[in-house]
Amino acid sequence: MLNNNSICANQLIEAEAQSWDYILSYLRPSCIKCAIQLGIPDILHKNLNSITSLSDLIAALPNLNPSKTTFIPILMRVLVDFGLFKFHQQQGDGYSLTSVGRLLVENDLSSKRSFFLFAQHPVVLNTAASVGDWLRDDLPTAFETAHGKSHWDYCGEEPEFNGVFNDAMAGDSRLISNLLISDCCEGVFEGLTSLVDIGGGTGAVAMAIARAFPRLKCIVLDLPHVIGDRKGTENLEFVAGSMFDKIPHANAILLKWILHNWDDENCVKLLKKCKESIPSKENGGKVIIIDMVMEDNCSNEQLVQSQHLMDLLMRITFASKERTEKEWEKLFLDAGFSGYKIITSLGLRSLIEIYP
């Protein structure tokens, strides 16, 4: 039977193990970034239906210094621990991709590779490292504490970071596009003849919708430095402008991961602009929102934790927030909409339709 002292010792050992996990957790994204830079997910993906031996993996790595080959099994061991790859000890000591690892494959339609690289950009990491300083100053965001300007101003003035940010958004949009035109969102675009994708970036979502629904005219509205010289197609058009100034008229407006970047006042302002640009509910007008409904996936603890972290990220980067269903409802009513419907869960986010 354990006495009180031994219970305390066991608790201390467990607490220390957890603290070491926190202390060493900074190595996780560094190792994953290294794997991406070396192209390991892509190499394993080429052999998707077979197991890749360590020797074949090393031989396929570009520009690897021969003196560093002994480090590869060490790197692969921790990446296996992270769940990115699977180690097949009984089948020639080789490796294969897991479903999570596949999300880091370049050009895969569901890839989150570009979003991961964005999250590891020094500008983003410096923002996170500045939270303690931000809590002691009077600036609205930790981003401004770290960089002296807002996120949007920084994107407008720094082409390299703007490109990384847009690539991340485009990568995420490709993943969402697959879900939007799948059975889980069946009927969302039924009967529509025109759609404006506000803040649509490089047009990944609009392109997918335009291909899937050739009779639906899609317009991508974003800032001039985002639109650049992009050209549309027969049923896809790019328009440069501010969503707070003028929104093209259409049957429906799409707001994918836009409103969580703004405070309540600006969200209401934007939603009122949307309402002015669509017909009545009776004539098929609606706004389609893809955004997070906080703790809407309570049965999935990992998703809820990710929602909490995303909420923190929005607050320190944009002085905005993720919202609960009640907070969403208040926004919709304040903007003059008559009702809403949460149609489906798209993992971390949900699809919401609101009606004028």
What does the alpha-carbon distance between residue 61 and residue 78 come to, in Å, rounded to a whole number?
Answer: 18
**Pair of tokens at residue 26:** 């900074």
Catalytic pick among 45, 147, 151, 260 = 260
Among all chains, which residue has been given the structure tokens 């609009």? Answer: 206
Q: Where are the beta strands (DSSP E) in the chain?
A: 52-53, 85-88, 94-97, 194-198, 217-222, 236-240, 252-256, 286-291, 339-346, 349-355
What does the alpha-carbon distance between residue 79 and residue 225 come to, in Å, rounded to a whole number?
Answer: 37
Active site residue 88: no
Q: How far is CA 227 from CA 188, 203, 231, 341, in A?
A: 26, 9, 9, 31
Residue type, 63: N
What does the alpha-carbon distance between residue 276 and residue 268 come to, in Å, rounded to a whole number?
Answer: 12
Which residues are identified as catalytic?
Answer: 260
